[in-house]
Structure 1
């Protein structure tokens, strides 16, 4: 073998070894592409897609601290100053389906009061699809009507039940006409106790299965709106009807609402009372239902007047056939976005016990 052949053979061997080594080299994997949070604007501000899904999520809530001076709901109260805090966490979801948006609404609430008294509860939890809603929510007797004014103590003159389980259908024709039909839990009360009158909590409910019922309709055109709603208490077998007119005059908002009780001598869930029962008792200790509740009818009215883009003044007046008069006024001040400072003053006169109550609130609230 000559030198030339040896050199060519060695070069071929080295080249083959280099090729084999290159085939075994480790190549770094490409990084997975990052999936950024996508904004979901189909259902309003604040929604975003849960990564890897087509479900939109919105998280919000509030932190509130407020002081109260006396109790607008209890003429017997002699407590001076109370202070308490509230935190709420709101979680909403929405997914598009062939039947429209599938939504959920959940609100958790935690509270701390003077004396280290704490409480926590599931305020709302409901599912909605195609106009139907099932779960816990304020009664449609209040929610559909828009409550009773832009004040904290809007229900000193009782305007109906709040948190309860329900099966509801809401209809919106898209031309200003709306309607609602709701079957509601006949055992629910706004605070979990029997607070609507003697007949409500003394009746034997062991064999009672029927739900309460609410139905209403409304029409809005331009700056004017009208709604009427009725509620039937299946335990007391009585109910109430409310009718409301809303109007706008430029930036000023005003409303007038009236309620009629089917039997003014009885309390029921839809024409009951928020007042301390001890203030509505006779000398023998029995509850005077007609005087403690509306009697046959009740009236509410109010105005909201924007002073500027940061300040609004509200007034609510209410009166009942049982001669309870209430006036509440407040200022809603938003020095910066999502921060509310709200001083409020309430005056209540009870003709049947010849007593007056003056109560105040100073509220600080941060929404997010």
Structure 2
């Protein structure tokens, strides 16, 4: 071994020793361990664990731009709306503990005010708070789908899906339709539903709602049927007892998915009341990229004893 090899070996040994001693110098700050966000797949896509706990969290939202022209107003109205929701879920011995909170605003009608749209707590089969009624149902697809019911309401709901075979039953005690101004008072509304879901042919539900304030009753029968792989039919019959004249609403919608990104939609509605109303609509939905959908739709309304109305709208929706 020559002198050159000895010197190189000594130098290398000194460098290793120096580095080891430097790493142990007193007063040296020790880097904190990084707690990276972990994916939570127990409740579906988009959830992640809140660092330091076992609660899964998800943020969802939507921004929508809509332009609509109607014969009635003769104007082109542009609405821009947005909303964001916060979903927290934890597995417990009593079932999933969930809280959901959503705010939204915008649009000409809302004068761009921001408000609470939903806020509720769930534990297992029990839901308490402000959310959509289990009695309500949409029929149809696209911009001009047909909705039946009163919208979000303060409620206490029990929905049990442990019967097997996709069957479920539910009941609710509801306040009025105006969420944060409503009180249960002495005459709340009562809802009962029974249905089946997750079937090869689709799903169906029967519901009854009693309006204690007016001592009136409403009932609905709805179903979503998969006719074939690309074709789906959504229908509902809604009956409402009224003081002067009962009302019946019939809605039927169809959606044909021509490709993975392109779908054709249509709906037909008929209201039997003091004044009968026919509505028909058609439209197209195109997924530009995942999370971005462009739509166009046309609607025709024929009201007994009034002029016929038409409307046309285009809409762009970004959701996550």
Q: Which TM-score applies when normalising by structure 2?
A: 0.84
- Per-residue CA deviation, residues 34-71 of structure 1 (Å, 9 max, x unaligned), is 11111111011011111111111101201111111128
| Structure 1 unmatched runs, 5+ | 1-24, 72-76, 194-204, 266-289
Question: Are the equivalent residues in 1 in contact too, given 2:120–2:128 (CA < 8 A)?
Answer: yes
Residues 181-220 of structure 1 correspond to what in structure 2 (within 5 A)? 181-185=171-175, 187-189=176-178, 208-220=185-197
In structure 2, what is the Cα distance between the partners aligned to 1:68 and 1:192?
31
In structure 1, what is the Cα distance between the partners aligned to 2:207 and 2:99?
25
Residues 18-33 of structure 1 correspond to what in structure 2 (within 5 A)? 26-33=26-33
Q: SS of the residue aligned with 2:148?
A: coil
Aligned residue for 1:136? 130
Aligned residues: 292
In structure 2, what is the Cα distance between the partners aligned to 1:66 and 1:224?
31
Residues 29-108 of structure 1 correspond to what in structure 2 (within 5 A)? 29-70=29-70, 77-108=72-103
In structure 2, what is the Cα distance between the partners aligned to 1:190 and 1:364?
28
In structure 2, what is the Cα distance between the partners aligned to 1:108 and 1:151?
23
Question: Are the equivalent residues in 1 in contact too, given 2:208–2:219 (CA < 8 A)?
Answer: yes
2:308 aligned residue (345, 353, 356): 356
Q: SS of the residue aligned with 1:151?
A: coil
The alignment status of 1:302 with 2:253, answered yes or no, reads yes
Q: SS of the residue aligned with 1:113?
A: coil
Using the TM superposition, give the Cα deviation of residue 354 of structure 1 relative to its aligned residue in structure 2, in angstroms.
3.0
Question: Are the equivalent residues in 1 in contact too, given 2:249–2:270 (CA < 8 A)?
Answer: yes
Aligned residue for 1:273? none
Aligned residue for 2:143? 152
Aligned residue for 1:260? 239
In structure 2, what is the Cα distance between the partners aligned to 1:219 and 1:112?
36
Return closer, same or farther for 1:224/1:340 CA change in 2, 3 Å cut-off: closer
Q: SS of the residue aligned with 2:87?
A: strand
In structure 2, what is the Cα distance between the partners aligned to 1:362 and 1:56?
36
In structure 2, what is the Cα distance between the partners aligned to 1:314 and 1:51?
43
Question: Are the equivalent residues in 1 in contact too, given 2:223–2:236 (CA < 8 A)?
Answer: yes
| Structure 2 unmatched runs, 5+ | 1-24
The alignment status of 1:164 with 2:153, answered yes or no, reads yes
Return closer, same or farther for 1:112/1:302 CA change in 2, 3 Å cut-off: closer
Question: Are the equivalent residues in 1 in contact too, given 2:140–2:235 (CA < 8 A)?
Answer: no
Return closer, same or farther for 1:228/1:337 CA change in 2, 3 Å cut-off: same
- Per-residue CA deviation, residues 142-195 of structure 1 (Å, 9 max, x unaligned), is 1xxx4222233323xx6111011111011112311111211111x3248989xx
The alignment status of 1:117 with 2:95, answered yes or no, reads no
Q: Which TM-score applies when normalising by structure 1?
A: 0.74
Aligned residue for 1:312? 263
In structure 2, what is the Cα distance between the partners aligned to 1:33 and 1:327?
61
**RMSD of equivalent CA atoms:** 2.5
In structure 2, what is the Cα distance between the partners aligned to 1:335 and 1:191?
37
In structure 1, what is the Cα distance between the partners aligned to 2:224 and 2:125?
24
Return closer, same or farther for 1:326/1:264 CA change in 2, 3 Å cut-off: farther
The alignment status of 1:237 with 2:215, answered yes or no, reads yes
1:178 aligned residue (161, 165, 168): 168
Return closer, same or farther for 1:112/1:316 CA change in 2, 3 Å cut-off: closer
